[in-house]
């Protein structure tokens, strides 16, 4: 079942998610729902559980048509620096250049409960850092300089206004 993606302003996005204690069928179903929800988005690469209102430390992503999931992830090493025009399904339409470490080593668990370590850089490294932030109640705005944040909030307000000004549906009789 696809959920509605929570957007900026929803308190669930500011709340740290709880660790998953038992990886059971419920978690597997949740992961299925997260992929279904991800596929309703225009160009989303990844989705974290809080984005559908579930406060659990899980995020999913797709790479080379393969569905990936990580449970209770943490970044254990990071290095370098990389600038990327970052976007977020919970802040639709806004893209801001954000500097973050380039390479990361992430550790967590798979749906089978096995420990997994994944090394990533550039786009994938960015995706991991962004989704992990969601699990800590951290949004892109929190990663911006005060100057950037001011501009980005104004831009986002404008994007929302444009969206609500669009005619909903043309009715023909």
Binding site for Zn ion (CB under 5 A): 88
Distance of CA 111 to the CA centre of its chain: 19
Phi, psi of 73 (to 5 degrees): -75, 155
Residue 43: closest CA among 93, 82, 2, 1: 93
**Nearest residue to Zn ion, scored by beta-carbon proximity:** 88
Task: Choose between 31 and 88: whose C-beta lies nearer to Zn ion.
Answer: 88
Task: Choose between 23 and 126: whose C-beta lies nearer to Zn ion.
Answer: 126
Which are the contacts of 77, defined by CB distance < 8 A and separation ≥ 6? 104, 105
CA pair distance 98, 141, nearest whole angstrom: 10
User: With contact defined as beta carbons under 8 Å apart, do 29 and 19 qualify?
Assistant: no
Strand partners of residue 115: 109
Phi, psi of 161 (to 5 degrees): -65, -45
Q: How far is the CB of 51 from Zn ion (least distance, A)?
A: 7
Q: How far is the CB of 48 from Zn ion (least distance, A)?
A: 7
Q: How far is the CB of 89 from Zn ion (least distance, A)?
A: 6
Indicate if 103 belongs to the active site: no
Q: Which of 4, 66, 131, 161 is catalytic?
A: 131
What is the set of active-site residues? 131
């Amino acid at each position: 079942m696809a959920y509605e993606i929570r957007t900026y302003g929803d308190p669930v996005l500011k709340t740290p998610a709880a660790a998953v204690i038992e990886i059971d069928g419920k978690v597997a179903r949740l992961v299925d729902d997260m992929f279904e929800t991800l596929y309703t988005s225009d160009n989303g690469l990844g989705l974290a559980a809080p984005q559908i209102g579930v406060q659990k430390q899980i995020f999913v992503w797709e790479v080379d048509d393969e569905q990936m999931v990580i449970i209770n992830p943490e970044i254990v090493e990071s290095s370098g620096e990389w600038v990327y025009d970052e976007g977020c399904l919970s802040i639709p339409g806004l893209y801001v250049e954000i500097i973050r470490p380039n390479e990361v080593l992430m550790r967590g668990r798979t749906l089978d409960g096995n420990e997994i370590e994944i090394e990533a850089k550039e786009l994938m490294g960015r995706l991991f850092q962004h989704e992990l932030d969601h699990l800590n109640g951290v949004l892109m705005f929190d990663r911006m300089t005060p100057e950037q944040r001011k501009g980005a909030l104004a831009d986002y307000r404008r994007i929302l206004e444009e969206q609500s000004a669009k005619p909903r549906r043309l009715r023909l009789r």
